[in-house]
Structure formats: structure tokens, C-alpha cells
Amino acid sequence: MNSSPYKSLWCLVPALVAALMATPVLAERADRLKKMEVESDQPGKVDLQKQIVTFNGNVVVTKGTLMLRADRIEVRESADGYQVAIATGTPAQPARFRQKREGVDEYIEGEAERLEYESKADTLRLINQAHVRRLRGSEVADEVSGALIVYDNAAEVFTVSGGAKAATPANPTGRVRAVLAPRAGTPAAAEAASAAASRPAPAPAGGQP
């Protein structure tokens, strides 16, 4: 019996990635080389021994089009000059991220209790009650949730695991959940848009005109 705290679903990943991102998930690849800028309500606390700077209070980290938001974010720099940012939130107020996709009017955004960004590996880990969406303009095209989501920008791959830490009021079982829209520009997408446009508008609340 697998005693891991997560129910690993690595066998689902190739199909999920193919469906979730039928076109490549190209975030702005130059972001990892941009300067990291940090704003917070409180001054940063520097730990010289561990080479960590901790920011508290409405912290916003930007690196190119990548933006991290949380009440507390730790930033460290490795000896070779790459940065690591760890954003800590809570179930009620999760840490959040947003990043533009390259060459299209689309964004990847999401939230979790903890976000870990590594510029050298160009990866983002969303831990506990993790949720990621792909926005086509302002419309949610695809979304996926789980206990752990790892976004590898260099390889253009998401991996997702479920488990107790994925549980939310809307998903009490903690199972991996994905909602996938047809790829833009395909006959399936056109048919879905046509069907949505032909549906009658919902009746106003209370039956009033």
C-alpha cells in the first residue's frame, strides 16, 4: 500500500497536459532572466547566515510578467546568482501567482497555501489546496486543482497530485479535478461557442422580468 501523503497521479499527467494545454504552455521564457522586484508593507528582514530576506505584509514579487502575491515571502539568492522565492499563505488567504503566456493574450494564474519559485530551474510549485487556471483574455479556458501542482516552464509540463491537502468545500474528497475546454480555433471550440450562444438566458432571480 502506498503510504505517501499524496495520491500520485503521474500516469494521468501526459493525457492531462495534452488536454489542458493542447497548445504549448509557453510562459514568457525571458522572465527567469529579468530582475526580481519586491514590494511589501513592512521592511525586509535580512538573515545574513542563511542569506534569506523575509518580507511581510501584502508582499508583491515581480519578475518580468511573473507576479507572486502573499502575506509573507522569503527571497534567497544562490551563489550562482539565481533566486528562489517562497510565498506563504493560508487556506483562507492563499498565496497567488500570475504569468503571461508568450505571444498570445493568455495568462496562467493560480493559488495555493504555499508557492515555491526557482528561477534557475524555471519551476513553480503550488502546495496544498493548489489551483491553476489558463485565461484566454478574461475567460477561464482550462483549470486544474490538486494537493500539489508543479509547473515546469522550461519543459512546458504540469504535474498534478491529489490527496487530503487538495480538499476544499467544493472538492471534499481531495481528488485531482480538471475542467478542460476545446482548443481555440478547432471545430469543437466553434461548436461549443455556438451551442452556448443559442442557450436561453437564465431567468432572473425570483422569476421577475
Q: What is the pLDDT along the chain (209 residues), one digit of tens a residue?
A: 444 433 333 333 333 443 343 334 445 567 888 999 999 999 888 887 888 999 999 999 999 999 999 999 999 988 888 899 999 999 899 999 999 887 788 899 999 999 999 999 999 999 999 999 988 888 888 888 999 999 888 777 888 887 655 555 555 555 666 655 656 666 766 676 676 677 676 665 555 54
User: Would you say residue 153 lies in a domain?
Assistant: yes
Task: Identify the pLDDT of residue 48.
Answer: 79
Give the C-alpha distances (Å, rounded to integers) separating 189 from 2, 64, 181, 201.
39, 31, 8, 20
User: Would you say residue 156 lies in a domain?
Assistant: yes
Q: Is the separation of the CB atoms in 77 and 99 below 8 Å?
A: no
Q: How many Å apart are CA 15 and CA 148, to the nearest integer? A: 17
Instruction: Tell me the whole-structure pTM to 2 decimals.
Output: 0.69
Task: Identify the pLDDT of residue 166.
Answer: 53
Q: How many Å apart are CA 3 and CA 137, to the nearest integer? A: 41
User: Would you say residue 100 lies in a domain?
Assistant: yes
Closest CA to 158 of 33, 24, 4: 24
User: Would you say residue 24 lies in a domain?
Assistant: yes
Q: How many Å apart are CA 80 and CA 30, to the nearest integer? A: 18
Cβ count near 96 (within 10 Å): 19
Q: Is the separation of the CB atoms in 21 and 134 below 8 Å?
A: yes
User: Would you say residue 208 lies in a domain?
Assistant: no
User: Would you say residue 205 lies in a domain?
Assistant: no
User: Would you say residue 207 lies in a domain?
Assistant: no
Cβ count near 54 (within 10 Å): 19
How many domains, in total, are found in the chain?
1
User: Would you say residue 112 lies in a domain?
Assistant: yes
Domain of 178, in residue numbers: 6-200
CATH classification of the domain holding 74: 2.60.450.10
